Amino acid sequence: MIDNYVINENPITIKRALISVFDKNGIEEFAKFLSEKNIEIVSTGGTSALLKKAQIPIVEINDFTNFPEIMGGRVKTINPLVEGGILALRDQHESDMMMNNINQIDLVVCNLYPFTTVIKNKDHTLSDALENIDIGGPTMIRSAAKNVGWVVVATHPNDYALIIQELNKEGEISYNTRISLAKKAFATTASYETAISNYITKDEYPSQMGLTLKKHSKLRYGENPHQSASAYQISENNSNNILNAKQLQGKKLSYNNIMDGDAALSCLKEFTETACVIVKHANPCGVSTGESSLEAFNRAFAADSVSAFGGIIAMNSKCTNEIAKELDKIFVEIVIAPSFDSEALDIFAKKKNLRIMQIGDIKSMPIGHDIRNLEGGLLIQEINRDRLTINELNIVTKKSPTNEQLQSMLFGWRVLKHVKSNAIITIKDKTTVGIGAGQVSRIDAVEIALIKSGRNIKNSILCSDAFFPFRDSIDRVSKSELGAIIQPGGSIKDLEVINACNEYEIPMVFTGRRCFKH
């Protein structure tokens, strides 16, 4: 290390460039431009072959180093004459360079072997993955970025235009441009190494974990106007999610829009049958299935039409013009669907601010992990993909539920997973009737669900995300002509609760597992 080194912040002239790229988009045009500026080009392997074919003058890397490419191209640029030319401090290492015949390299143009693309192929082998781990590329990129005072680094084809523009205008490259490209370079190599580490480790919860995030968009603000915010994507996640959706019209998504859209899609992915989910403040307020998308929407909306105002509408089948006509009568923030009738889009176009999001196949469970931010850390867990079956239901009361009630219980359990705890919901005919979400006492959640249910409570199914600690909830619902109850069980007072259900002749089943959502 060099003590008290002061970084050169003056503009620099480019006299020599080293070009070694896997992604060759735009490289011919860029190299031709550099050559026309009398910048010497040193190049390697397939890149040099491409440039020579385009009749662009280049110096082969083995001529530059007086050392051949060896081991099938595995060793090309890991050489003191290359690394010295990149890392040399022009104001301090001139004598070392002269003594060792090192020529300075002012511009490094390099992108990396497509490791992440290769490992996405389900038929790839470990050998395929290892052979696509770039060694020389990251070394050159990091060296150039480290020596930002004297060297320019370009790691992506979209960097070329910036360099061309500045050389045409100024004839040299400013420090601000160099530092900007260096930041991008270090982010590129960090992301690359993280992908390799995560792949090789193959441990769901390793002792160390890297997470690569790619900026999706800068947001106007966060949950509240005084909070700044941006949206980031996990680089390896290519699922059909809210950040990957195509926006067909409307205002830019806000922080809260993204949160609500994600919550809606997460719930919607529970269903393979035609379904509609309406979300408000990250909680479902209406969920239903139907023979058609229109029927599913109408039932979900009718479940709580008041709360649906200003909400998010998500469906897993085509949004038709009939649905668009219904939505035209109310205010909603977002409509999400895999496709839209052209007539529906024409109707939506009248509401310029309405956000229309097209997403791919969403009849599949979400992938990946649930990651929660803490002050000073993260909590990481499996996504709750629990799919309850009838055979797993344990009937604990004297009176048994009907088969129709059992089917409604399974529907309710799928919805319940997506409601903030403590959660109580009521279900009838595979449609939510009342949702009591996010209460600190279970009896309060019961009370809200009953209020929301109103007269529709009769013969509905009550679903609880955790056990009833006392019989008070059963006493409360006994006056409502409830159809049946599903809950996890597991309380020390289970027998008291079961006896209460027997007393009121309410069928009840235990799932044996809970579905908290915090």
User: Is residue 367 assigned to a domain?
Assistant: no
Q: For position 325, which CATH number holds?
A: 3.40.140.20
The CATH code of the domain that includes 101 is 3.40.50.1380
Residue 374 has pLDDT above 80, yes or no: yes
Q: Are 38 and 99 members of one domain?
A: yes
Q: CB-based contacts of 471: which residues, under 8 Å, 6+ apart? A: 493, 496, 497, 499, 500
The least confident of 83-92, 334-343, 483-492 is: 83-92
If asked whether residues 489 and 438 sit together in one domain, one would say yes
Residue 364 has pLDDT above 70, yes or no: no
pLDDT digits (tens, 9 = 90+) for 382-420: 988 888 999 999 999 999 999 999 999 999 999 999 999
Looking at the 3D structure of the chain, how many domains does it have?
3
Residue 76 has pLDDT above 80, yes or no: no
Q: Are 361 and 383 in contact (CB under 8 A)?
A: no
SS3 content of the chain, % helix, strand, coil (to 5): 40, 20, 40
Confidence bin at 203 (pLDDT 50/70/90): confident
- The answer to whether residues 431 and 350 belong to one domain is no
Please tell me which residue, 217 or 94, carries the higher pLDDT value: 217
Q: How confident is the model at residue 1 (pLDDT cuts 50, 70, 90)?
A: low
Distance of CA 192 to the CA centre of its chain: 18
Mean pLDDT of 184-204: 91
User: Would you say residue 375 lies in a domain?
Assistant: no
Give the DSSP letter string of 135-152. SHHHHHHHHHHHTTTT-E
Domain presence at residue 6: no
- What is d(CA 491, CA 466) in angstroms, rounded to the nearest whole number? 9
Tell me which residue range forms the domain holding 301.
Answer: 241-358
The Cα–Cα gap between 401 and 276 comes to: 26
Residue 332 and residue 405 in one domain: no
Residue 368 has pLDDT above 80, yes or no: no
User: Do 403 and 354 fall into the same domain?
Assistant: no
- Which of 310, 341, 358 is where one domain is finished? 358
94 occurs within a structural domain: yes
Q: What is the mean pLDDT of the chain?
A: 93
* CA distances, 377 to each of 43, 194, 285, 367, 371 (Å): 44, 18, 32, 22, 10
Is residue 379 domain-resident? no
Residue 69 pLDDT greater than 80, yes or no: no
Q: Is 363 a residue whose pLDDT tops 70?
A: no
Of the three residues 341, 358, 375, the one that is the final residue of a domain is: 358
In a domain, 228, yes or no: no
Mean pLDDT score, 423-437: 96
Residues 302 and 404 in one domain: no
Residue 23: inside a domain, yes or no? yes
Q: What tokens does 308 get?
A: 């649906």
Length of the chain: 518
Angle at 143 between CA 139 and CA 149, to 5 degrees: 165
Q: What residue type is assigned to position 142 of the chain? A: R
Q: Are residues 136 and 88 in the same domain?
A: yes
pLDDT at position 365 = 65
Considering the domain architecture, whether residues 332 and 435 belong to the same structural domain is answered as no
Residues 140 and 24 in one domain: yes
How many whole angstroms separate alpha carbon 495 and alpha carbon 25? Answer: 70
C-alpha separations of 477 from 111, 285, 486, 494 in Å:
65, 21, 13, 17
Please give the Cα distance from 284 to 418 (Å, whole number).
7
Q: Is residue 404 domain-shared with residue 490, that is, in the same domain?
A: yes
State how far the Cα of 362 lies from the Cα of 356, in Å rounded to an integer: 16
271-282 mean pLDDT: 96
| Same-domain status, 277 and 146 | no
Looking at residue 507, its amino acid is P
pLDDT of 71 > 90? The answer is no
pLDDT for 204-263, tens place per residue? 888 888 888 889 999 999 999 999 999 999 876 667 899 999 999 999 999 999 999 999
Question: Is residue 214 situated within a structural domain?
Answer: no
pLDDT tens-digit map of 442-496: 999 999 999 999 989 999 999 999 999 999 999 999 989 899 999 999 999 999 9
Same domain, 194 and 254: no
Q: Which residues are catalytic?
A: 146, 281
Q: What percent of the chain has pLDDT over 70?
A: 98
Of 179, 201, 223, the residue that ends a domain is 201
